[in-house]
Amino acid sequence: MSVSHFAVLSCCRPLLVPSLSRASSLRSRICCCTTLTATSTETPTSTSVKKRVVSGVQPTGSIHLGNYLGAIKNWVALQNVYETLFFIVDLHAITLPYDTQQLSKATRSTAAIYLACGVDPSKASVFVQSHVRAHVELMWLLSSTTPIGWLNKMIQFKEKSRKAGDEEVGVALLTYPVLMASDILLYQSDFVPVGEDQKQHLELTRDLAERVNNLYGGRKWKKLRGRGGTIFKVPEPLIPPAGARIMSLTDGLSKMSKSAPSDQSRINILDPKDLIANKIKRCKTDSFPSLEFDNSERPECNNLLSIYQLVSGKTKEEVVQEIQNMNWGTFKTILTDALIDHLHPIQVRYEEIMSDSGYLDEVLAQGARNAAEIADTTLDNVYQAMGFFRRQ
């Protein structure tokens, strides 16, 4: 989800849409796209269906600037417009070897970072993925209809299994996309923002939704005293906003990542001031005499300018004016100051939240209750449509 993170827009009220066959899906991949912006001023009216946003980040490694600018910062704006659910995707974190002594701690820390960044539990439901068991139950039901050939084609599985070694790879890495599909379909999602490395997973989610709708929906479901129609919405791709792809400090062609071996490649949200300054001082630049956006031959320059624009709150045009005749040394100084000024309040709030464990526990518990209420409705429909005998 990477998804290290993913986001989903869905309507609060389930809508019936015509189902598509997998064959027609493969013949035509034409879909409707929506752009997600952090500055949206759209306000749901009484006559419109309020949309729901679902998004999450893995509690592995340190939450970094890419996670923040690409996802969490946008959530703060979205929670004022939509019904929002933000979760810590801990089940995805165990698909590769992990430290059992750190998972719980990292999960709480990630939740605290959500809140410190401005996610408001009075507006958004914040919860832990494993605390809503419907995610796993729906994954199992979806697995029964997922051809193994579909999973074997996933590029991420091939790459990660090659790195880990075939003998060390667990089944969870292969079925990871099915869990991602469960995360998305569980909330009747309308739109999903995906990065380049997740396009295949969204296509699989769409195919699974269509497959389940065709196998178990419509009149077949009606005969089982169900609602009939489609069981799942078929999600569409959502275009990420600016900032959704922050690149590495050591390689402007690679995405900033938790899994990169060098900590120098990323700015972590909780990095102290001196470490931020040192990372920016040592980050990769180029030998061009001036600074500029959007030069394909200067990926590092474009990345650093984009980061500055986002954390300073300035427009691109304002940054262009500011950097005229500026050299790398001067720019690195103002970038460092902007990063420190932007992250310091988040770090202070994080420490306050972590020191009040009762508050954090209650936020996560209430969030899980809210999410489970939505998820259970979808799960009950799937069980019914698939013909299960349900406990009375």
Residues tagged active-site: 160, 255, 258
Residue 289, number of CB atoms within 10 A of its CB: 8
SS3 251: coil
Residue ranges with strand state E in the chain: 5-11, 34-35, 51-57, 83-88, 124-128, 189-193, 236-239
Which residue from 4, 118, 129, 151 is spatially nearest to 64, judged by alpha carbons? 4
Query: In terms of C-beta density within 10 A (0-12 exposed, 13-18 middle, 19 or more buried), how is residue 40 classed?
Result: middle
141/379 Cα distance (integer angstroms) = 9
291/330 Cα distance (integer angstroms) = 11
What DSSP string describes 55-92? EEE-SSS--BHHHIIIIIHHHHHHTTTSEEEEEE-TTG
Residue type, 162: R
Residues 187/190/196/200 CA torsion (nearest 10 deg): 70
Q: Among all chains, which residue has been given the structure tokens 């061009």?
A: 288
37/54 Cα distance (integer angstroms) = 15
